[in-house]
Amino acid sequence: MQRTRKQIIFTIAATLMASAGVNTAKASEIYRYVDAEGEVHYVDRPTGAPSEERLSIASKPTSSSQVQARVNQRQPANTTSADQATQEEEKAAELTRAQKRAQAKIQEQKCQKYRDQLETYVTSRRLYREDDQGERVYLDENEVQEARSKMEEMIVKDCS
C-alpha cells in the first residue's frame, strides 16, 4: 500500500506535535489547506490560503507508571501460559522418550530371538521343519546354509 503525500505530512506533523508536548497535555494549532494543484498541506502557522482551516490536536504524555502497571497485569498471564506450554512440551517429550524406550526394548527382544535362532542353526546336528501333516522334514546341507544366511541377513538388517 502506497502512502499519499497527505498521509506522510500528517504523520510527521502529528509526531512533531506529540514530541513537543512530552510532559504536559497540550493543544496545538495545525492548519490544513489545499493548494492550487489540489494537494493538501499541513502547517503550524497560518498561510492565509482561502481553503485554510484550523485543526485542534490535543496530546498528552504517556504515564510510564500506568504502562508498567498494564504490563505487570498481563505478564503473569503470559508467564502462566508459557509455563503451561513448557509443561505440555515436557510431557510430550517424556511420552516420546517412553515410546522410544518401549520400541527399543521390543527391537532388542526381536534381535535376541534372531541370535538364538542363528545359534541353533549353527550348533544343531540336524535341523528340521514340520510339514502340513505335522511330520518332521529334515533339512539338507543347502537348506541349512540358506536358513543360516537368511537369519544373518535379518540380524544385520534389524539389529545394527
Q: Is 143 exposed, middle or buried (0-12, 13-18, 19+ CB in 10 A)?
A: middle
**Tell me: the pLDDT tens digits for 66-99?**
888 888 787 765 556 677 888 888 888 888 988 9
Q: What is the mean pLDDT of the chain?
A: 82
How many angstroms separate the CA atoms of 114 and 129, rounded? 17
What pLDDT was estimated at residue 150?
92
How many angstroms separate the CA atoms of 40 and 32, rounded? 7
Q: Which residues contact 120 (CB under 8 A, 6 or more apart)?
A: 127
> Does pTM top 0.75 for this prediction?
no
Q: Give the start-to-end residue ranges of the domains of the chain.
A: 5-62, 99-160
Q: Strands 128-130, 40-43: parallel, antiparallel or unpaired by DSSP?
A: unpaired
Per cent of the chain over pLDDT 70 is 86
In the structure, what pLDDT confidence band is assigned to residue 152 with cuts at 50, 70 and 90? Answer: very high
Q: Is the pLDDT of residue 23 over 90?
A: no
10 Å Cβ neighbour count for 126?
8
SS3 80: helix
| Closest C-alpha to 43, from 4, 7, 9 | 9
Q: Is 144 exposed, middle or buried (0-12, 13-18, 19+ CB in 10 A)?
A: middle
What pLDDT was estimated at residue 135?
92
Instruction: Please report which helix (H) or strand (E) contains residue 7, including its range.
Output: helix 5-20
